């Protein structure tokens, strides 16, 4: 079984979100440009967004409408509205989550995630610290990267003509 299939299986079973622990500041700094108390984050975000962005949860595969989004535009952080990806960076990875082969410059910090019996690189919004997903080395050219993003952590902004 491949790592991709294993992750999809854990997500489908709902196991990944129950294995996650709270991570109030994944980047290891004392503050972010956008910072709120835990109570304020709970007010600002939906329960699903809070679970992913603030508690490093994972939404179930194939549940996000953004996975099939085909319009031209920009994907923003649902926590702070920072632009993260353009539609030109998106590709269909077949994993059930919106996937991108690169990001806009400087928008993410990374940490090492040793949960689920493997080492992965987790990425977080540089502006609010929100968890977005994991980056893998099985993406398409030119980068070979796959930024596997939780759709609930994103907001799509359609390009204007």
- Positions annotated as catalytic residues are 148
Tokens of 150: 């939780």
Tokens of 130: 């929100």
CA dihedral 7, 51, 59, 32 (to 10 degrees): -80
Tokens of 141: 């050219």
How far is 65 from 43, CA to CA, in rounded Å? 23
Tokens of 77: 């952080």
Asked if 98 contacts 84 with a C-beta cutoff of 8 angstroms, the reply is: no
How far is 38 from 106, CA to CA, in rounded Å? 25
């Amino acid at each position: 079984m491949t790592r991709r299939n294993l992750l999809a299986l854990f997500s489908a079973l709902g196991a990944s979100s129950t294995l996650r622990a709270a991570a109030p500041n994944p980047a290891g700094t004392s503050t972010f440009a956008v910072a709120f108390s835990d109570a304020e984050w709970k007010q600002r975000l939906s329960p699903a967004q809070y679970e992913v962005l603030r508690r490093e949860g994972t939404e179930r595969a194939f549940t996000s409408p953004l996975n099939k989004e085909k319009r031209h535009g920009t994907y923003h952080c649902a926590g702070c509205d920072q632009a993260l990806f353009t539609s030109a960076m998106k590709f269909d990875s077949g994993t059930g989550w919106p996937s991108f082969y690169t990001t806009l410059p400087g928008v993410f910090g990374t940490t090492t995630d040793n949960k689920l019996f493997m080492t992965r690189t987790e990425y977080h919004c540089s502006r609010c610290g929100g968890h977005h997903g994991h980056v893998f080395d099985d993406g398409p050219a030119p980068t070979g990267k796959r930024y596997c993003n939780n759709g609930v952590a994103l907001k799509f902004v359609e390009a204007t003509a």
